[in-house]
Structure formats: structure tokens, C-alpha cells
Amino acid sequence: MVLRAEYQLGDEEKKLEESAEICLKCGVCCVLKAHSCHAQYDEQFDPTHTFVYDCLGSENPTGNLNIWLCVSCHKCEELCPYDVTPIEFIEAMKAKAFELGLAHPGVMSEIEQIIGTGSAFPVTGSSVRQREAIGLEPLDPKAQDELKLISEETGLTERLNRYKEAQK
């Protein structure tokens, strides 16, 4: 299976290559349950149609919401006997999908939550009390401002706005 889309290679080689890798569809990265890709547990996948085949062989890889099941654990890369790196392809497709406004809505709302509140979870009276109860320091409100600044300076805020526009 030749990868269908352009993607960015590793740090040493920052350029786009087309069909730069070939997956031999041996299945090793997904079929060894408990050792391989966790996304393979999703019921839509089986040994004849693995998660990695689904991502690498998709006709529309940036529009394939399954790519967001990848948690970037690198197991596939470590297990592949042929030095294929599915994760690089999947991460590049996520980045492209983000640019195109195709990212998974759940991921976008999580990003907004973190930038907006400085926390991955809603900070409620209950969470404040629980922090106190286990001796954690109060959350620093400056962290929220710093995250907003980082988001603006890195262009993330602008991308989020573009994404929202694309969703209208």
C-alpha cells in the first residue's frame, strides 16, 4: 500500500514528499493486541482492516476522522519490521486537517477549553475544594493569560478562528 498523500518527513528532512513510504500491510503494528496500537480496539477495525490501514490507505486522509483516534504513542513505529512510520503520516494529516478546518470537533473544543481556562478540565468550586483537600496549591490565574499569549503568538488563535469560519 503506497501512502496516498503528501506528508512531512521527520525533523531532519523538513520537506513534503509524495508517496514516500510503502506499508506492506503485514498487520504487525495492530494485530498484536495488548502490545500494539490501542486504536485497533475500536470495533470498526479487525485484522483484515486495521486502524493503520484505515489511516494510511484512506482516499481522503485529512477528512478521515479516525486519524484523531491516534494518541501518538509511537508503538506502530517501534513494532513495524519494515521501518514504516505510520505516526508521521497520521500527525501530518492531523496538521493538514486542522489547517483545512477538518479537525475532529471534540479536539477543537478541548483546545478552546485549555486556551480559555488554562486547564484541560472545567475549574469548578468542587475542583478547587478537592485541590485544597489533597494539599495542592491554588491554580495560578496567570497561567491562563500566558496560554492565551502563547496561542496568539504562535498563530493558534488565528487558526482556531479560521476553523470556526470554515464550520459556518
Residues within the interface to ligand SF4 (CB under 6 A): 23-29, 37-39, 52, 70-76, 79-80, 82, 84, 86-87, 90
68: amino acid identity, one letter: W
Q: Which CB sits closer to ligand SF4, 28 or 102?
A: 28
How deeply is 84 buried, as exposed, middle or buried, from its count of CB atoms within 10 A (0-12, 13-18, 19+)?
Answer: buried
Shortest reach from residue 107's CB to ligand SF4, in Å: 14
CA angle, 37 then 16 then 108, to 5°: 55
Shortest reach from residue 8's CB to ligand SF4, in Å: 16
Shortest reach from residue 24's CB to ligand SF4, in Å: 4
Shortest reach from residue 55's CB to ligand SF4, in Å: 7
Q: Which CB sits closer to ligand SF4, 26 or 160?
A: 26
Query: Are residues 102 and 67 in contact, defined by beta-carbon separation less than 8 angstroms?
Result: no
Q: Which CB sits closer to ligand SF4, 41 or 150?
A: 41
Q: Which CB sits closer to ligand SF4, 42 or 158?
A: 42
Shortest reach from residue 81's CB to ligand SF4, in Å: 6
Q: Which CB sits closer to ligand SF4, 90 or 111?
A: 90
The single-letter DSSP state of residue 7 is E
Query: Are residues 5 and 61 in contact, defined by beta-carbon separation less than 8 angstroms?
Result: yes
Query: Are residues 91 and 71 in contact, defined by beta-carbon separation less than 8 angstroms?
Result: no
And the C-alpha cell for 36? 500494539
**50 to each of 12, 14, 23, 57, 85, how far by Cα in Å?**
29, 28, 12, 10, 15
